[in-house]
Amino acid sequence: MGISKERVGAAINVNQCNLETLERNVSGLMTNAFHCALAGVAGGKYGPCVPVDVRDHRPGPLQNTHDPRHYAINDQDGFFCVEDANGGKLYTRLGDFGSLPQKDGSVVLGFRPGAGRPTELFVLGKDGSRIKIDQENPDVVLEPGVFVPTLRDQMIPLGGGLFGVAGPVTALDSPTIVQGHLERSNVDSTREMIGISRRLAGLELLFRVVGALGGTEKKAIDVVGS
């Protein structure tokens, strides 16, 4: 099987998609509870492809914020659970419940556009009960539940550290939660920068191949026309 422009073009497309994923990971380096995406693409054999947003959900390191309104899951699998304005459940590793973002135009329960930090916000306990976060008395210890999706490929990234889950979840019996801490990003900056460097080198090589193939075709046309 020879090298064709279609095959080289497909390889360029894959490299560009993976490069986009790596660059997005680096941009999330300083975002609390940001989970890096794994390089991967979906698309046809030679047609356009797009990055597949599959996340690496390994826990990130914890940062001591000394803020009693902050909570972190300590070196353990799973997610906190909150509710949106329609009662749908959302999952997050970000334990700063007073600053969760809006999701696709709707609002997380307790949030009102333009109203700043909410006066009422609820997070689910491990038994499914709704626990009110008291913003006025933040020293009151909150005991949120930690929930683990049965299948990770059923997790749907919604932006801002929020995820939807298309399948069942299980509450952990003994979650390890640390107050006054937040989880940092799990992005390995060294690994991502090495990946970017390799993808850029691969693209440079592929573009050279395209140039060489173009020169070969021109020679063939000249021979036929002579």
Side chain identity at residue 180, one-letter code: G
* pLDDT at residue 118, rounded to an integer: 46
Give counts: helices (H), strands (E), the chain: 2, 16
* pLDDT at residue 73, rounded to an integer: 93
Average pLDDT of the residues in 76-84: 83
Residues in Cβ contact with 106 at an 8 Å cutoff, skipping those fewer than 6 apart:
84, 85, 86
Residue 52 pLDDT exceeds 70: no
As given in the structure block, the two tokens for residue 88 are 């749908």
Which carries the bigger pLDDT value, residue 131 or residue 141? 131
* pLDDT at residue 18, rounded to an integer: 85
- pLDDT band at 225; cut points 50, 70, 90: very low
Backbone angles phi, psi at 37, to 5 degrees: -90, 145
* pLDDT at residue 89, rounded to an integer: 82
Q: Give me the helices (H) in the chain, please.
A: 5-27, 189-225
CB atoms within 10 A of CB 87: 7
Q: Are 160 and 101 in contact (CB under 8 A)?
A: yes
Backbone angles phi, psi at 62, to 5 degrees: -95, 145
Report in angstroms the alpha-carbon separations of 12 from 146, 170, 199. Answer: 41, 41, 10
Q: What is the pLDDT of residues 140-199, one digit of tens each?
A: 677 889 999 887 778 888 777 788 888 899 999 888 999 899 999 999 999 999 999 998
Average pLDDT of the residues in 93-118: 57
